[in-house]
Amino acid sequence: MKLKAALSRARGILAQNAIEDAPLEAELLLRHVLKINRTRLYLDLEQELSPEDEKAFGHLVERRLSGEPTAYITGRREFYGLEFYVNPHTLIPRPESELLVETALRLSQSQPVSTIADIGTGCGAIAVSLALELPRTRIYATDISLPTLEVALVNCQRHSVTDRIRLLQGDMLKPVPEPIDLIVANLPYVKESELTPQNFEPLLALDGGAEGTESIARLCRQAKSKLAGGGSMLLEIGAGQGETITGLLKSLFPDGAVEVSRDFSGIERVISLSLSRAKVAK
Ligand code: GLN
């Protein structure tokens, strides 16, 4: 069978089984079997697929149909135009989290940012993206899970930013040794009741407690002693959490400015807190 036919058959099977982005997923799985990039795949579409590769491809499609995410099958996920290694110890980066990176970069153009902390860094996608864009910034990336930090380390090495990012294991901001100008975080924010038993991603990265906001609220409280005067915090939030978190931030930081931005689906996604310059963190 030619690559072209194998690809189109897999696309059909995935689409029939309601897998979103079936064409892209089929392509990623076939490229994983053949260990080739996108250009090579398209140049080789008329080539024959060996019986072994055809079998291996079929097996990966089966795994996908059983619910396993393509990113875990291939060990790769693209985020902010960069490729990251992921495994089941990390959340799979979502396109909407790129909004956190973009907002952080915009902010760094209007205020001095010499230290950043990415809390609950996971595979390190946010920290690495920022490190590449802001080469003079000192970045701390923390996570409670050691196996997760091992994944982040692989990505720091892959993108040559080990000298700019310090990976720290611990509870949110606790291991961070100095005041921070910009805190960014994509913490767990899924309501406990909305977690499905078939989740392949780590519960630790998804479970936000009864209301979904427990981890975010805890970080907001920790930020009080770590956010530098004039500093900012950007938090990814779940749908409908804007009001709760805005209220909490206003009570913790009465002089801070709080703003909520929506993602490309129109859902409230990033909440930002900016402290005034004159104010010194207590
Ligand atoms: N966006 C993820 C989801 O909806 C949740 C990510 C998170 O909890 N930070 O599954």
Q: Which of 20, 91, 98, 193 is the pocket-test mutation for ligand 1 (most atoms within 8 Å of CB)?
A: 91
**Confidence at residue 196, expressed as pLDDT on a 0 to 100 scale:** 83
Mean residue pLDDT across the chain = 95
Query: Where does the pLDDT of residue 205 fall: very low under 50, low under 70, confident under 90, or very high at 90 and above?
Result: very high
Q: Which phi and psi angles does 211 have, rounded to 5°?
A: -100, -10
> How many domains does the chain contain in total?
2
Q: Is residue 59 part of a domain?
A: yes
Ligand 1 atom nearest residue 207's Cα: 8
Co-location of 249 and 151 in the same domain: yes
Q: Average pLDDT for residues 224-251, to the nearest whole number? A: 96
Are residues 62 and 128 both part of a single domain? no
Q: Which residues contact 133 (CB under 8 A, 6 or more apart)?
A: 101, 105
Amino acid 280: pLDDT: 47
For residue 173, count other CB atoms closer than 10 A to its CB.
23
Q: Which residue has the tokens 């913790």?
A: 252
| Claim to verify: residue 100 and residue 60 sit in the same structural domain | no
DSSP state at residue 233? E
State which amino acid sits at residue 19.
Answer: I
Tens of pLDDT along 113-171?
A: 999 999 999 999 999 999 999 999 999 999 999 999 999 999 999 999 999 999 999 99
Query: By the 8 A CB rule, do 54 and 43 touch?
Result: no
Confidence band (pLDDT; 50, 70, 90) for 278? low
When pLDDT is cut at 50, 70 and 90, the band that residue 258 belongs to is: very high
Claim to verify: residue 124 and residue 170 sit in the same structural domain: yes
If asked whether residues 110 and 246 sit together in one domain, one would say yes
Residue 279 pLDDT: 43
Q: Which domain holds residue 47?
A: 3-72
Q: Which residues line ligand 1 (CB under 6 A)?
A: 91, 94, 186-190, 206
**Would you call 28 helix, strand, or coil by DSSP?**
helix
What CATH number is associated with residue 45? 1.10.8.10
86 in any annotated domain: no
Q: Which residue has the higher pLDDT, 196 or 236?
A: 236
Q: What pTM value is reported for the model?
A: 0.94
* Residue 58 and residue 185 in one domain: no
Is there a domain that residue 80 lies in?
Answer: no
